[in-house]
Chain A
Amino acid sequence: MAFWALVKRDITLAWAQGGAGGLSLAFFMIATSLFPFAVGPDSEFLMRLAPGVIWVVALLAGLISLDRLFQADFEDGSLDMLALSPLSLEMTAFAKTLAHWFSVMLPLVILSPLLGLMLAMPVASLGWLLLSLLIGSPALSLIGSIGAALTVAVRRGGVLIALIILPLYIPVLIFGAGSLLAISAGTDPLPHLALSGAVSLFALFISPFASAAALRLGLE
């Protein structure tokens, strides 16, 4: 019960005024639409670039909201309260990560076909784009929560999170965007999606423990 209450609270906060959800979504749209200005509006070129661009920007949009994942609660003391609650710190960290996925990543995933369309992706592969992000993005939130927990007590930890988390995002990116490259090369995208799912599940396995260990450190 307490678990879902926490998830609900975090989602509500993320979509309240000035919350991370809307800001990340706006960043996702604006940053993606910068690319045509930089590389030119040639639709054939944009089509080739689109899956990679959308994946990288989605990854960065998730990243910029991560530094507040635990820090806001750490600063006003609610994290201490949460640590004292009967819910284990592992579950607390997982609840907040789940809320991050629902409030920040899921909206990006839902919006991604629209941006794919704007970057001249063929309509037939928009569904695959959505699916690849749906399967891969949980890993982004889960791995990211480890970085957020490690930097919870660090002032301006945002750059540090990027530095420690981005190398760990590489497999997620390879399999996620790889499935779309496979489609444009005319091969089967399913192995990529399966591996992408495996990365997400593996992240699900380690993330709550690593995040909780890091949070305990911050709370001392």
Chain B
Amino acid sequence: MQRFANPARFNHLADRIMPWSNAVAIIAFMLGGYYSLFDSPADYQQSETVRIMYVHVPAAWMSMLCYMIVAAASFTGLVWKHPLAFLTAKAAAPIGAGLTALALFTGAVWGQPTWGTWWEWDARMTSVLVLFFLYLGYMAMWETIEDHDKASRASSILALVGVVNIPIIKFSVEWWNTVHQGASVLRVGGPSIHEDMMLPLLLMVLAFHAYLISLVLKRVKLELTRRKIMVLRQSLFARKGR
């Protein structure tokens, strides 16, 4: 674990991974985009609006995965005092918030023609909305505490409190109200989605994963550079002061 704590080594590793994840993302996006927009059947009930699903479903999955990344990185940071882990959590959060917003937006656009309403207070939509709020709180925590070290640990505690609460929130909201259709890809007895739709969906999921990897690595590199600039600037001020 400590091997990757070295920023130079991390940068080196990230530079090795990123061309691959970039390439996979671009190719999968192109293929998946083509299949999902042009070469997949329209649904017999939802007609063409079903194509929104190819963005909506991966975005919703990634939004949850991203929070898991934030929580796992926060845990690593708190337990092993790993500065890069904190930066990973910080880097992943806005991406997760963006994906959550995308899932909510595409859901609304899809829901209007299909359910006849932009927004419905059903269990899944509500829990995604709450997830969005959790991201906002986490990001606000980083913003308001000036000291980097304290901000990283405080927001990590918050992320962990959030992650233990997610199942409770999910369960409570589910109990509270349900009209969203049940899971149709990951369920007992195999997927209920037709394979002509499954292929573009899987391609898009792959594309989102690869894109997520690229983006997180890029943002961590950005954070490292930002930290470096800050340190340089401080030493410059210190020298001027003398």
Chain A residues close to B by CB (< 8 Å): 146, 150-151, 153-154, 157, 160, 163-168, 170-171, 174-175, 178, 195, 199, 202, 206, 210, 213-214, 217-218, 220
- Docked pose: A77 CA to B144 CA in angstroms: 22
B5 at the interface (CB under 8 A from A): no
B154 at the interface (CB under 8 A from A): yes
Contact A206 B173 (CB under 8 A): no
Q: Which residues of A contact B133 (CB under 8 A)?
A: 163, 166-167
Contact A163 B137 (CB under 8 A): yes
Task: Type the 1/0 row for B150-161, where 1 means its CB is closer than 8 Å to any CB of A.
Answer: 100110011011
The A contact surface, by secondary structure, is helix
B176 at the interface (CB under 8 A from A): yes
Known: A170-B172, A199-B168, A202-B168. A150 touches B158 (CB 8 A): yes
Contact B161 A220 (CB under 8 A): no
Which of B136, B157, B164, B171 meets A213, CB within 8 Å? B157
CB contacts under 8 Å to A, within B119-146, are: 130, 133-134, 136-138, 140-141, 144-145
Minimum distance in angstroms from B71 CB to a CB of chain A: 14
Contact B153 A217 (CB under 8 A): yes
Contact A150 B157 (CB under 8 A): yes
- Docked pose: A150 CA to B151 CA in angstroms: 10
Q: How many A-B residue pairs have CB under 8 A?
A: 72
Known: A206-B164, A213-B157, A220-B150. A167 touches B144 (CB 8 A): no
Minimum distance in angstroms from A194 CB to a CB of chain B: 12
Q: Which residues of B contact A166 (CB under 8 A)?
A: 133
- Docked pose: A146 CA to B130 CA in angstroms: 18
B111 at the interface (CB under 8 A from A): no
- Docked pose: A160 CA to B165 CA in angstroms: 18
Q: Which residues of A contact B7 (CB under 8 A)?
A: none
B94 at the interface (CB under 8 A from A): no
Which 6 residue pairs are nearest across A and B when measured between Cβ atoms?
A: A164-B137, A171-B172, A167-B133, A174-B172, A163-B137, A174-B176
Known: A163-B136, A164-B137. A170 touches B161 (CB 8 A): no
Minimum distance in angstroms from A56 CB to a CB of chain B: 15
Contact B141 A150 (CB under 8 A): yes
Known: A154-B145, A210-B160. 7 other contacts (CB 8 A): A167-B133, A168-B169, A178-B176, A199-B172, A206-B164, A217-B154, A217-B157
Known: A150-B158, A217-B153. A164 touches B140 (CB 8 A): yes
B44 at the interface (CB under 8 A from A): no
Q: Which residues of B contact A165 (CB under 8 A)?
A: 137
B162 at the interface (CB under 8 A from A): yes
Which of B164, B169, B176 meets A167, CB within 8 Å? B169
Minimum distance in angstroms from B127 CB to a CB of chain A: 9
Q: Which residues of B contact A195 (CB under 8 A)?
A: 172, 175
- Docked pose: A170 CA to B123 CA in angstroms: 12
B139 nearest CB neighbor, chain A only: A163
A152 nearest CB neighbor, chain B only: B154
Minimum distance in angstroms from B67 CB to a CB of chain A: 12
- Docked pose: A170 CA to B176 CA in angstroms: 11
Which of A160, A202, A213, A214 meets B144, CB within 8 Å? A160
Contact A214 B141 (CB under 8 A): no
- Docked pose: A150 CA to B155 CA in angstroms: 8
Q: Which residues of B contact A217 (CB under 8 A)?
A: 150, 153-154, 157
- Docked pose: A168 CA to B158 CA in angstroms: 11
CB contacts under 8 Å to A, within B150-205, are: 150, 153-154, 157-158, 160-162, 164-165, 168-169, 171-173, 175-176
